[in-house]
Amino acid sequence: MTGGNTTDIEKLKEDLFSLMLDAEREGAVAMLLGFARGRGFQAAVNDLLEPVLQRVGEDWSRERISLAQGYVAGKIAEDVLLAAASSHGDLRLDVKGPVILGNVEDDYHSLGRKMVGVFLRAAGWKIVDLGNDVSPAAFVDAALEHGARVIGVSAMMLTTAENIRAVRAELDARGLSGRIRLAVGGAVFKLRPELVREVGGDGTAASAIQAPPLFDRLWTGEPEGEGA
Amino acid sequence: MTGLERVLCALGGEPTDRRAFTLTLSLYGARLTGCPVREYFTVPRRYLEGQREVVRLLDPDILFTPFVLPFEALAYGGEEVWLDRFAPNVRKPPFRDPDLAEPLGEGLLLDPGVGYLVEAARLLAGEFGADKPVCAVVTAPVDLPAMLLGIETWLEILLFDPERAAALMDLSEDHFLRLTAALFDAGATFVACPVMFANLRLVTPGLLEKSILPALARCFGLCRGPVVFHHGGNRIEDHLHHYAGLPNVPGFVMDPRDSLSRARGILGPGRLILGNLSGPALLRTAPEEARALSSEILAERAGDRAFILASGHADVPFDTNPDTLLAVRQAVLDAGAVS
């Protein structure tokens, strides 16, 4: 913790959590910016935003809250990060990574990828987002160009998730498997967890908010559990 | 008894010679006839031929019109994708800019894909409608904008732009009512509507109450025939009480993970419950497992006259073993009469 009375912080966290669940984006952002004005953006993120996002992520993975509420949480985080960047304040952005993100070839469902990007940025990761319909070669070329050790590939449906195999094959063909790790995600992996291994993924996360610890593990080369 | 009689008995809570059952075998007809998927899903007569083979193999009590919801979105533009053993899908949504999404009006029914859906329903009802209910599968009015714009854009609009959301709901309502009217005119007995954006795993309670449920109530209430509420790929047991009051909804297709007895407790004795085999999971289910699973469900619902054994989630996959499907039927026959 970077400062502040514990009781006050706990109350603020509770209020912020409620605002997120009620989709009160403006109110939540105003609260975080007010906090940042007094104590700095780093404290606003570390003491307030991150713990609440963690709670949202846990509830999301247990299906206690909705995709919309997770999405609003992402938008709030994005708004605060933009404000922090434009204020040239004390928040340290882009201190980890970079990592590559993109939707696999033929996939145009960008929601999950964008949410992962927001939560990774909030956790200090530098993101190179290649967008939708990214070819296997483009993923690997970008990872080499930027020195990324993790590629995050998103696919919503079974038909497009199958295309992730080609990304794994590209890594294998260039002798990069093990050096560059493959995070996979999207709705279909929640329905069929075994697909993570089948398509050549090194790991996945139960929700976008839980992407940062996954990328931490993959970046440092920690092994992932079966089906993780 | 015919399939139609069995389903009507289930609706009326009356006994039948055996439990009514169905599996969503829209795509599977292409496998049974060996028809290339693209031809099957563009030529209505090929679809009818496929469903004839479904009847020959399994004789289910309910038949389905083509389960190709993407055709509804593709009527507005966008890019389609065809794969050998799957129904076509939307590769790229029709609109990047929500302001460009305009109602098609009468033009909707002139679109070749939508025309195919309606004509296939007409052929199916003409040949089988006297004996078997023909169920037309249609996109939920609250989900159509997600197919037109992408999930993210629709979510963003629903959450933060109520005026634009209302305009898109109007478009969807017009689309839903025109399409369902055409399907009922063609002979469909009822429509099944997979609903995603009414699920509290996707939307907030506030959105559900203020925007989603009123839109569904309006559309379903104005629909020319009955609407079966399909779980849309998510569990709905926890949220069923929200949907129970929707007008013109005689039944619910439950998620395979839902508790049917709990659903019955929420809905009361009069509403039809369909479920809860997973269509896609049948691909990986051995015949003996399918029979055991079906028997288990049938035993659990033995005293429930308003229950129909059915598959949920998506269509049964192309490569599913026909013996697995026959094992489901055998379990129904084993279970005997509904007294």
**CATH number of residue A29's parent domain:** 1.10.1240.10
Considering only alpha carbons, which residue of chain B is nearest residue A108?
B92
User: Rounded to whole angstroms, how far apart are CA atoms A137 and A17?
Assistant: 41
Q: What angle do CA A186, A192, A194 make, to 5 degrees?
A: 110
Cβ of A23 within 8 Å of Cβ of B89? The answer is no
Considering only alpha carbons, which residue of chain B is nearest residue A75?
B156
Do residues A54 and A16 make contact, with C-beta atoms less than 8 angstroms apart?
A: no
Cβ of B91 within 8 Å of Cβ of A159? The answer is no
Amino acid letter at B65?
Answer: T
pLDDT range class, residue A107, cuts 50, 70, 90: confident
Nearest to B155 among A63, A68, A157 (CB): A68
Q: What does the pLDDT read at residue A95?
A: 87
For residues A124 and A42, membership in a common domain is answered with no
User: Rounded to whole angstroms, how far apart are CA atoms A15 and A52?
Assistant: 10
The answer for A 147-166 residues in CB contact with B (under 8 A) is 157, 159
Whether the per-residue pLDDT at A155 is higher than 60: the answer is yes
Whether the per-residue pLDDT at B170 is higher than 90: the answer is yes
The whole-number average pLDDT for the span A145-157 is 94
For residues A74 and A140, membership in a common domain is answered with no
The dihedral region occupied by A131, where left means phi > 0, alpha psi between -120 and 50, and beta the remainder, is left
Among the three residues A87, A119, A152, which one is the final residue of a domain in this structure?
Answer: A87
Lowest mean pLDDT, pick from A154-163, B170-179, B323-332:
A154-163
Retrieve residue B288's tokens: 């003996």
Strand partners, A134: A104
Is residue A21 less than 8 Å (CB to CB) from chain B?
yes
Amino acid letter at B26?
Answer: S
Retrieve residue B308's tokens: 């129909």
Lowest mean pLDDT, pick from A2-11, B178-187, B214-223:
A2-11
Cβ of B155 within 8 Å of Cβ of A66? The answer is no
Q: Is residue A76 part of a domain?
A: yes
Mean pLDDT rounded to a whole number for chain A: 89
For residues A105 and A214, membership in a common domain is answered with yes
Mean pLDDT rounded to a whole number for chain B: 96
User: For A168-177, what is each residue's pLDDT tens digit?
Assistant: 999 999 999 8
- DSSP tag of A208: G
The whole-number average pLDDT for the span B16-29 is 98
For residues A136 and A207, membership in a common domain is answered with yes
Residues 6 or more apart in contact with residue B43 via CB below 8 angstroms: B116
Among the three residues A70, A87, A104, which one is the final residue of a domain in this structure?
Answer: A87
Retrieve residue A51's tokens: 């713990």
Is residue A18 less than 8 Å (CB to CB) from chain B?
no
Choose the mutation target among B82, B149, B151 for the interface with A, i.e. most A CBs under 10 Å.
Answer: B151
Rounded (10°) angle between helices B44-58 and B112-128: 40
User: For B252-303, what is each residue's pLDDT tens digit?
Assistant: 999 999 999 999 999 999 899 999 999 999 999 999 999 999 999 999 999 9
Residues 6 or more apart in contact with residue B117 via CB below 8 angstroms: B65, B66, B68, B71, B72, B136, B179, B183
User: For B28-67, what is each residue's pLDDT tens digit?
Assistant: 999 999 999 999 999 999 999 999 999 999 999 999 999 9
Chain B contact set for A21 (CB, 8 A): 204
Question: Is residue A103 classed as helix, strand or coil in its secondary structure?
Answer: strand
3 state SS for chain B: CCHHHHHHHHHHCCCECCCCEECCCCCHHHHHHCCCHHHHCCCHHHHHHHHHHHHHHHCCCCEECCCCCHHHHHCCCCEEECCCCCCCEEEECCCCCHHHCCCCHHHHHHCHHHHHHHHHHHHHHHHHCCCCCEEEECCCCCCHHHHHHCHHHHHHHHHHCHHHHHHHHHHHHHHHHHHHHHHHHCCCCEEEEECCCCCCCCCCHHHHHHHHHHHHHHHHHHCCCCEEEECCCCCCHHHHHHHCCCCCCCEEECCCCCCHHHHHHHHCCCCEEEEEEECHHHHHCCHHHHHHHHHHHHHHCCCCCCEEEEEECCCCCCCCCHHHHHHHHHHHHHHCCEC
- Structure pTM? 0.86
Choose the mutation target among A71, A78, A118 for the interface with B, i.e. most B CBs under 10 Å.
Answer: A71
Q: Is residue A25 part of a domain?
A: yes
Using a 10 angstrom Cβ sphere, with 0-12 exposed, 13-18 middle and 19 or more buried, the burial of residue B296 is exposed
Q: What does the pLDDT read at residue A227?
A: 43
For residues A118 and A180, membership in a common domain is answered with yes
User: For B188-199, what is each residue's pLDDT tens digit?
Assistant: 999 999 999 999
The whole-number average pLDDT for the span A190-211 is 89
User: Rounded to whole angstroms, how far apart are CA atoms B227 and B249?
Assistant: 5
Is residue B210 less than 8 Å (CB to CB) from chain A?
no
Among the three residues A25, A60, A87, which one is the final residue of a domain in this structure?
Answer: A87
Nearest to A67 among B156, B160, B201 (CB): B201
Nearest to B201 among A23, A66, A157 (CB): A66
Q: Is residue A227 part of a domain?
A: no
- Nearest Cα of chain A lies from the Cα of B112 at a distance, in angstroms, of 24
Domain boundaries, position A70: 6-87
Q: Is residue A226 part of a domain?
A: no
Question: Is residue A150 classed as helix, strand or coil in its secondary structure?
Answer: strand
Question: How many structural domains is chain A composed of?
Answer: 2
For residues A33 and A107, membership in a common domain is answered with no
The whole-number average pLDDT for the span B132-150 is 97
Query: What is the number of other CB atoms lying within 10 angstroms of the CB of residue A95?
Result: 10
Chain B contact set for A22 (CB, 8 A): 204, 206
For residues A151 and A205, membership in a common domain is answered with yes
Whether the per-residue pLDDT at A1 is higher than 70: the answer is no
- Nearest Cα of chain B lies from the Cα of A176 at a distance, in angstroms, of 30
The full length of chain B comes to 339
pLDDT range class, residue A226, cuts 50, 70, 90: very low
Q: What does the pLDDT read at residue A4?
A: 56
Percent of chain B's residues with pLDDT above 70: 100
For residues A163 and A200, membership in a common domain is answered with yes
Question: Is residue A81 classed as helix, strand or coil in its secondary structure?
Answer: helix
CATH number of the domain at B3-335, please? Answer: 3.20.20.210
What CATH number does the domain containing A109 carry?
3.40.50.280
For residues A64 and A109, membership in a common domain is answered with no
User: For A40-85, what is each residue's pLDDT tens digit?
Assistant: 998 998 899 989 988 888 888 788 889 899 899 989 998 998 898 8
For residues A83 and A106, membership in a common domain is answered with no
φ, ψ for residue B278 (rounded to 5)?
Answer: -90, 115
User: Rounded to whole angstroms, how far apart are CA atoms B146 and B199?
Assistant: 14
User: Rounded to whole angstroms, how far apart are CA atoms B99 and B102?
Assistant: 8
For residues A75 and A109, membership in a common domain is answered with no
Q: What does the pLDDT read at residue A207?
A: 83
For residues A80 and A118, membership in a common domain is answered with no
- Nearest Cα of chain A lies from the Cα of B184 at a distance, in angstroms, of 31
Cβ of A67 within 8 Å of Cβ of B155? The answer is yes
Q: Is residue A180 part of a domain?
A: yes
Q: Is residue A1 part of a domain?
A: no
